[in-house]
């Protein structure tokens, strides 16, 4: 079955067209995805939403333009089933109906604004597709533009999940407008991150986790930096393991750079230049807290190139 999946977040809109198949492995039904097209556009749909509660017209225009490009690809590759999922920025926006109507007019399907809990479950499904699931208790965290999802699960599925409103775009706009970041800005981003993690602990027993998996653009960009890549290489990044100490050092490096210095990095997407400082700070704080909460059992993070986008595709088969 050829399926299409679109993930529209706070910072980017992404498309996956894949051929899906199922097989039985050790008594379990396993779904495989074979990529046909995988693309991303940075549209910053969540521009200003944290402050105003509304989607800006220029952000809507950028998103609709990218969706029109995706519609052409969906027709070209004769996709049979399509699911369009919108997350944090759209959940928070008072004028989200304008967005919904625009997407419906372009694609002819009803876009879904999913809850943080469903976003978490889809992220977990996509992440373990790439790095595998076993009896270990794995915490997957999906650090996006407007929110971060924490999911604890095993090969049997999700056990607990929580979505919190910390993300690279949201906290850049709220606290970290300058580059390099100042000590006060770093402290405020870390304080918001700590408060969010404390709220996660109320419903997700992170102390039981034995493995951490990180997904989405902040995580993969930090992996590229930590691995010393000259250009972005998804095959090298996917499945890589980065120590907590290395995450901290890499975060410090990225947030201490000017925007021009970040832009000159061969692996840095132009749409992440202004938000990677806050993103790296959130990411490093999450890893530090996981190390503390698990009493040192988690001392590294596995990075997955596959995430909610793959989960959206999988959901149409399962």
* Separation of alpha carbons 46 and 172, rounded Å: 12
* Cβ-contact 106, 68 below 8 angstroms: yes
Q: For residues 120-146, b (16+ Cβ closer than 10 Å) or e, as one string?
A: bbbbbbbbbbbbebeeebbbbbbbbbb
Single out the residue of 225, 211, 216, 242 nearest to residue 306, CA to CA: 216
Task: Report the distance separating Cα 61 and Cα 67, nearest Å.
Answer: 10
Q: How many CA atoms lie within 13 A of 17 on its CB side?
A: 15
Quick one: three-class SS letters along 180-242? CCCHHHHHHHHHHHHHHHHHHCCCCCHHHCCEEEEECHHHHHHHHHHCCCCCCCHHHHCCCEE
Task: Establish how many alpha carbons lie within 13 A of residue 64's alpha carbon, considering only the half-sphere containing its beta carbon.
Answer: 16
- Model pLDDT, residue 317: 83
Phi-psi domain of 39 (left: phi exceeds 0; alpha: psi -120 through 50; beta: other):
beta
Name all domains of the chain by residue range, CATH numbers in brackets. Answer: 2-116+309-316 (3.30.420.40), 132-306 (3.30.420.150)
Spatial separation of the C-alpha atoms in residues 53 and 109, rounded to whole Å:
25
Residue with tokens 């775009």: 169
CA–CA gap between residue 183 and residue 283 (Å, rounded): 17
Specify whether the CB–CB gap between 293 and 208 falls below 8 A: no
Residue 233: the pLDDT is: 96
Q: Which positions of the chain have pLDDT values less than 70? A: 24-29, 88, 132-135, 318
| CA-closest candidate to residue 81, choices 17, 128, 7, 28 | 17
**Distance separating the N- and C-terminal Cα atoms of the chain:** 12
d(CA 18, CA 40): 15
pLDDT of residue 134: 62
Position 89 scores a pLDDT of 75
- Virtual torsion, Cα 5, 9, 11, 16, nearest 10 deg: -10
Cis peptide, bond prior to residue 90, ω within 30 of zero: no
Strand order in the sheet with 241-243: 157-164, 148-154, 138-143, 211-215, 300-304, 241-243
Q: What is the pLDDT of residue 158?
A: 87
């Amino acid at each position: 079955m050829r399926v299409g999946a679109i993930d529209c977040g706070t910072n980017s809109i992404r498309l996956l067209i894949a051929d899906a198949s199922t097989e039985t492995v050790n008594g379990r039904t396993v779904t495989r995805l074979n990529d046909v097209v995988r693309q991303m556009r940075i549209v910053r749909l969540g521009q200003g939403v944290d402050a105003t509660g509304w989607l800006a017209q220029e952000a809507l225009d950028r998103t609709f333009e990218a969706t029109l490009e995706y519609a052409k690809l969906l027709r070209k590759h004769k996709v049979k089933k399509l699911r369009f999922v919108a997350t944090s920025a759209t959940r928070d926006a008072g004028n989200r109906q304008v967005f919904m109507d625009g997407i419906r007019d372009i694609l002819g399907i009803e876009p879904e604004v999913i809850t943080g809990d469903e976003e978490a479950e889809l992220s977990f499904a996509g992440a373990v597709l790439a790095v595998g699931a076993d009896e270990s208790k794995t915490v997957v965290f999906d650090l996006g533009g407007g929110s971060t999802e924490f999911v604890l699960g095993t090969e049997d599925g999700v056990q607990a999940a929580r979505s919190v409103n910390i993300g690279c775009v949201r906290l850049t706009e709220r606290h970290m407008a300058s580059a390099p970041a100042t000590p006060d800005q770093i402290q405020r981003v870390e304080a918001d991150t700590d408060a969010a993690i404390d709220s996660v602990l109320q419903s997700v027993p992170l102390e039981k986790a034995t493995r951490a998996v990180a997904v989405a653009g902040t995580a993969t960009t930090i992996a590229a930096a930590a691995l010393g890549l000259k250009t972005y290489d998804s095959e090298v990044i996917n499945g890589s393991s980065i120590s907590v100490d290395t995450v901290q050092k890499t975060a410090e490096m990225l947030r201490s750079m000017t925007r021009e210095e970040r832009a000159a990095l061969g692996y840095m997407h132009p749409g992440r230049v202004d938000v990677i400082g806050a993103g790296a700070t959130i990411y490093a704080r999450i890893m530090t807290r996981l190390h503390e909460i698990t009493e040192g059992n988690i001392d590294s993070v596995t990075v997955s190139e596959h995430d909610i986008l793959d989960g959206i595709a999988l959901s149409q088969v399962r």
